[in-house]
Structure 1
Amino acid sequence: MTDDATLTELNTRIAAIRENIRELIEQAAAYSGAADQERTADRIADQEAQLAALLKKRDALLGKQDQP
């Protein structure tokens, strides 16, 4: 896969995960049960971890390693 195709795929996946996080936050605001809130918090944490990993890959691809 070329760098441009890889970058495009990473950007698409990043956008999708950001949208998932946004939706999960909206759902969390609507839930009232503790179990639902915990499950949603776990899902948000998982999505945030995936987002961080994708952002790191994208930065490495763009030559922005270890920048804040």
Structure 2
Amino acid sequence: MATTVIPFISRNINWLGIDSVVYPMDKRVKARNRLSDDLKPTALMIPPTCQCPIHQYPKTWLSITL
């Protein structure tokens, strides 16, 4: 018998989401465009990587984590 623990974990939880299948395509495109433009989180604008010499690792690490 195959089963999961999800029914036990998800008790008293509302699983809320967006059913985009029935949403009109033109409105989905408009929403996607807004998410990639004016609603885009500013944290995503920061480049996820940087290059530095090995002797600067501690200083660079502190600047990223603080």
What TM-score do you get using the length of structure 1 for normalisation? 0.32
Question: Which structure's relative contact order is higher, taking Cα pairs within 8 Å and 6+ residues apart?
Answer: 1
Q: Could you say which structure has the higher helix fraction? A: 1
Q: Which has the larger radius of gyration?
A: 2
